Amino acid sequence: MKRAVCPGSFDPITYGHLDIITRASAHFDQVVVAVLENRTKSSLFTVAERIEMIRETTSNLPNVVVDSWSGLLVDYCKSNSVQVIVKGLRAVTDFDYELQMAQVNLQAAGVESMFMATAPSHSFLSSSLVKELAHYGGDVSTMVPASVNAALKLRVAGK
């Protein structure tokens, strides 16, 4: 079975993530969306909340499953027979960091990374931007699914 992982913080999942997950699911037998810790970021939603949002918004994709992991991504890949890491590249600004991670993951554990070009309509989109907009009452309805938008509104209101 060809199994890929789409890893990320997903805090919260956006239409940009969903674009990559949906397109990746057409190329692999199974795609695992794995919520991992990014030590450089603090999170708005708990891992359990993020998993629930991803499960709901990917429920139309039969070969997509959701999981979480605290530790190295390559250890997750080894423990779960995942052969390929799939990441989206939005712009050249993503490239340096993603290349560095892909090379470390290849060197450390022989795990391949593949990059998909983000759809141009999502090239500016990030969870950080969505959180910033939501914090100040901006409209993020074109950036995240309705259920995520509702959860964001509640969270920034302190609930």
Active site residues: 17, 41, 90, 127
Classify residue 61 as exposed, middle or buried by CB count within 10 Å of its CB (0-12, 13-18, 19+): middle
For the record, the structure tokens of 95 come out as 């490239």
Indicate the residue among 108 and 158 with the shorter CB distance to ligand PNS: 108
Residues 43-72 that bind ligand PNS (CB under 6 A): 72
Query: Considering the rule CB under 6 A, would residue 89 count as an interface residue with ligand PNS?
Result: no
Minimum CB separation of residue 5 from ligand PNS in Å reads: 9
Indicate the residue among 47 and 119 with the shorter CB distance to ligand PNS: 47
Residues 2-31 that bind ligand PNS (CB under 6 A): 7-9
